[in-house]
Structure 1
Amino acid sequence: MHDVVRDFALNIAPKYNHQFMVKAGIGLREWTNIDTFEDFTCISLMSNNTIELPNELECPKLQVLMVQGSAKICFPGNFFQGMKNLNVLNLSGFRLFSLLDSVSFLSNLRTLYISDGELGDIGVIGKLSKLEILCLSESNIKEIPISFSQLSNLRLLDLNDCWELTLKSRGVIFSLKKLEELYINRFWEWESESEILKSNANLVELQALSRLTHLEISISNLDLSPKLLVFPNNLSKFKLRIGYIEYSNHFDEYLDGSRYSRYMCASQTNISKIHDCCWVKGLLKRTECLILKKIANLESISHNLVEDGFNELKYLDITLCDEIKYLLNAMEGTPNSTFHNLEELNIYCNPNLVELCHGQPPALSFSKLKVLKVTSCSNMLSVVPSHLLQSLQNFQTFKTYGCRSVVYIFDCKDIKIAEGETKLLSSLEHLELKELPELSHIWKGDHQSISLHNLKEVKIWSCSKLIKLFSPTLLQSLICLEEIDIAYCNNLEEIFEKKEALDEELDHIITSPSLGNLTSMYIENCHKLKNLFTPSIVKCLGKLKRLEL
């Protein structure tokens, strides 16, 4: 598809008075012998490692020069001198231990990419007064020179993943008044307002950026942060990291900008410090993705963090918060809008967590929740009590691992579903339970209120007290089930519970389409299992392809 678009652009360019030269990725070693380059508006030489360039190149109409991915190319000292109308220059992936002085001749340059490069002195960039986009991401730069304060037209500055960056000259950010997007995710050394040396950048400088719409920063300690920092109302996207965070695939998955627009991750700090920073609390109200790890004195999300609710939160991850007892404590008078947009909830290794929701949740709370994962929370007896279960109207994926005290998962006791109303768990598609040694029931109470007609996958491992899985009532709703994987359930006797039935009930079971989509069944080390299927069930297994015991 890329080639098709490129060829199309090359074909139509002359109609609009553009002439392109594209020699990308063809192993070019020698400079082309074209007589003149005066009419070219775009040249692409990217991914050609060893081209020998001419000392000078007269390209008065050239607007775009792309040479990224050609790391072994050497630029002669006057190479850029004849490109005074150049707008876009991409030098990504180069070893440029000092930028050429001839770069300063690019007085009309608007966009400069030098990402993933080995750079030395980059002070000459400060002379490019018309520059609007500057990308130095993934480079080895150690400091931002004071000359960058002259880039008064800069709209985007990308310093993400510059792991060696330790110095940002104070006043540079303050000078970039037109900045709309700022990305500095690996710089932690912000100075407080009281620092005597005043050599590094201060967070207060961000307040001068009234046009800011995108911001990505990291703060090692909230003590260094001004309490009353105010961000503009047009800040539509942000990624804020508080406290040092061990980077892993688990967290990076949610840093993907295409998934969430407003992200916050806080680690190894105290809940009181978050309370004291009004600007952090202000951003917290607008956060879509929130990750909390090792937060001291956090007992309840709704009570301790945002008193007027999480109106925009879509993803929540709580990890290693030893003092948290409830995710939502409805007994303390929670706001009506708490968690009404939450789509994914991940709870990991919180040893004192007793309940996800203590008391009846407010209307619409958890109504959009699709994914729930609970891991290694040793104090929980039930994961989804009855008062919470009725709120899960869009529930699709449920996973619980290593919760050693859990006795049952879904409490259906005393729940009555009126005729015509949607039954509980009717949207559930994936169910995974592992290492739950005290689990005796998955669904507790009357199964008449449950329908599993969208359930596709069931995985149950190491649940040694589980005896029965699906009742006859639940069996009738398993019309989409495709895969069953059960292992190390030492006391499991029946997967599909047998029951004495009246003839009409038996006929219904025989003609029911339940298990008609089952394709795979894997059973391992379930030594007390009496049977797999009744004769009536076997008649429905037309799609079964894999049966492994």
Structure 2
Amino acid sequence: MPMTFSVLNLQSPFPNSSGMPWSFHNLIELEVKWNFVKKIIPSSELLQLQKLEKIHVKHCDWAIEVVEALEEAGRNRNSISGHGFDEPSQTTTIVRLSNLTQVKLDNLGSLRNIWKSNQWTTFEFPNLTTLYIYKCDRLRHVFSGSMVGSLLQLQELHITDCDLLVDVIVKDASGVVEEESDGKSNEILVLPHLKSLSLYYLRCFQGFSLGKEDFSFPLLDTLVIKECPTIRTFTKGNLATPKLKEIETRFGSFYAGEDINSFIKIKQKEFSDNWDYD
């Protein structure tokens, strides 16, 4: 029977073997709030969470990671066919949470990683549709480059008041997001269902992606960028947004045109010139 699990003021949302004999195979919704745990979902519990649809974490000041990546020992122990773990090579395990659709993160002051890929683990969320991030001041990035290809259903991404956030997609160890051109044609990364992207009060934000890849958002029709004073560009590569007509900014709504990157540079220059004049 599917179930919802809410955790309040406990040491861990997942008791270990010495605690109560919980089973989370049917868990569909996890809510954790006002908790002192550092890692919300430890790697040892990933096998049990293949039915998980929603994650909501709020006011957990000690949390540094939401989904913990597997280390080598855990990877070897948990790699079981048919349970969301695939091993394409001897070095990397793909952890796929196929039913996860919604993640909300609210007031996590110490959060450094939501789902950090490492040399042993790459995460995939093929049905994630909605991601809300609010006031996670130590978070610097959202997705690693190797995760982008799995975000086939992502529709809404809203990020607000995260002081140290630099970009949404960061280069990872796989080299998916390259910082330097190697002379080859750029890869095109597609978020096929992304419709709404909002970026508010991100004082260190420099761009959606600072790598060289080209991006395509074929359904994006809402883009809000407000109070992001250090933004330099949206993407360094080319960007296709055929349905986007307007960009909402602190100065009002403006026609997006065909080149968001040029628009951002022009508006930033206007802002700098006005600031210098004042």
Q: How do 1:62-101 and structure 2 match up within 5 A?
A: none
Q: Which residue of 2 aligns with 1:372?
A: 30
- Aligned in 2, Cα 1:362/1:424: closer, same or farther, shift over 3 Å? farther
Alignment pair present for 1:485 and 2:150: no
Q: Which residue of 1 aligns with 2:115?
A: 443
Q: How do 1:148-547 and structure 2 match up within 5 A?
A: 341-348=1-8, 350=9, 353-359=10-16, 365-377=23-35, 379-414=36-71, 415-416=74-75, 417=79, 422=84, 423-446=95-118, 448-498=121-171, 499-500=177-178, 509-510=187-188, 512=189, 514-533=190-209, 536-538=213-215, 540-547=216-223
Q: Tell me the distance in 2 between the aligned counterparts of 1:444 and 1:358.
A: 23
Structure 1 stretches lacking a partner, 5+ long: 1-340
Q: Which amino acid aligns with 1:453?
A: P
Alpha carbons 1:476, 1:509 under 8 Å: kept: no
Alpha carbons 1:425, 1:451 under 8 Å: kept: yes
Q: Which residue of 2 aligns with 1:326?
A: none
**Whose radius of gyration is greater, 1 or 2?**
1
Alpha carbons 1:426, 1:450 under 8 Å: kept: no
- SS, match of residue 45 in structure 2: helix
Cα deviation per residue 1:241-278 (whole Å; 9 max; x = unaligned)?
A: xxxxxxxxxxxxxxxxxxxxxxxxxxxxxxxxxxxxxx
- Aligned in 2, Cα 1:526/1:367: closer, same or farther, shift over 3 Å? same
Q: Offset at 1:509?
A: 4.5
- SS, match of residue 125 in structure 2: coil
- Aligned in 2, Cα 1:400/1:537: closer, same or farther, shift over 3 Å? farther
Q: Tell me the distance in 2 between the aligned counterparts of 1:419 and 1:507.
A: 36
Q: Which amino acid aligns with 1:452?
A: F
Task: Determine which structure has greater relative contact order: mean sequence separation of CA pairs < 8 Å that are 6+ residues apart, divided by chain length.
Answer: 2
Q: Offset at 1:343?
A: 1.6
- SS, match of residue 357 in structure 1: coil
Q: Offset at 1:356?
A: 1.8
Q: Tell me the distance in 2 between the aligned counterparts of 1:382 and 1:356.
A: 9
Q: Offset at 1:380?
A: 1.2
Structure 2 length-normalised TM: 0.64
Equivalent residue pairs, number: 201
Cα deviation per residue 1:24-66 (whole Å; 9 max; x = unaligned)?
A: xxxxxxxxxxxxxxxxxxxxxxxxxxxxxxxxxxxxxxxxxxx
Alpha carbons 1:359, 1:387 under 8 Å: kept: no
Q: Tell me the distance in 1 between the aligned counterparts of 2:185 and 2:31.
A: 38
Q: Tell me the distance in 2 between the aligned counterparts of 1:525 and 1:532.
A: 14
% identical aligned pairs: 22
Alpha carbons 1:386, 1:410 under 8 Å: kept: yes
Structure 1 length-normalised TM: 0.34
Q: Which residue of 2 aligns with 1:237?
A: none
Q: Which residue of 2 aligns with 1:192?
A: none
* Greater per-residue strand proportion: 2
Q: Offset at 1:357?
A: 2.1
Q: Offset at 1:381?
A: 1.1
Q: Tell me the distance in 2 between the aligned counterparts of 1:494 and 1:386.
A: 26
Q: Tell me the distance in 2 between the aligned counterparts of 1:503 and 1:368.
A: 46
Structure 2 stretches lacking a partner, 5+ long: 85-94, 172-176, 226-278
Q: Which amino acid aligns with 1:385?
A: P
Q: Tell me the distance in 2 between the aligned counterparts of 1:387 and 1:481.
A: 26
Q: Offset at 1:444?
A: 3.7
Alpha carbons 2:13, 2:32 under 8 Å: kept: no
- SS, match of residue 159 in structure 2: strand
Cα deviation per residue 1:180-224 (whole Å; 9 max; x = unaligned)?
A: xxxxxxxxxxxxxxxxxxxxxxxxxxxxxxxxxxxxxxxxxxxxx
Q: Which amino acid aligns with 2:223?
A: L
Q: Which amino acid aligns with 2:156?
A: E
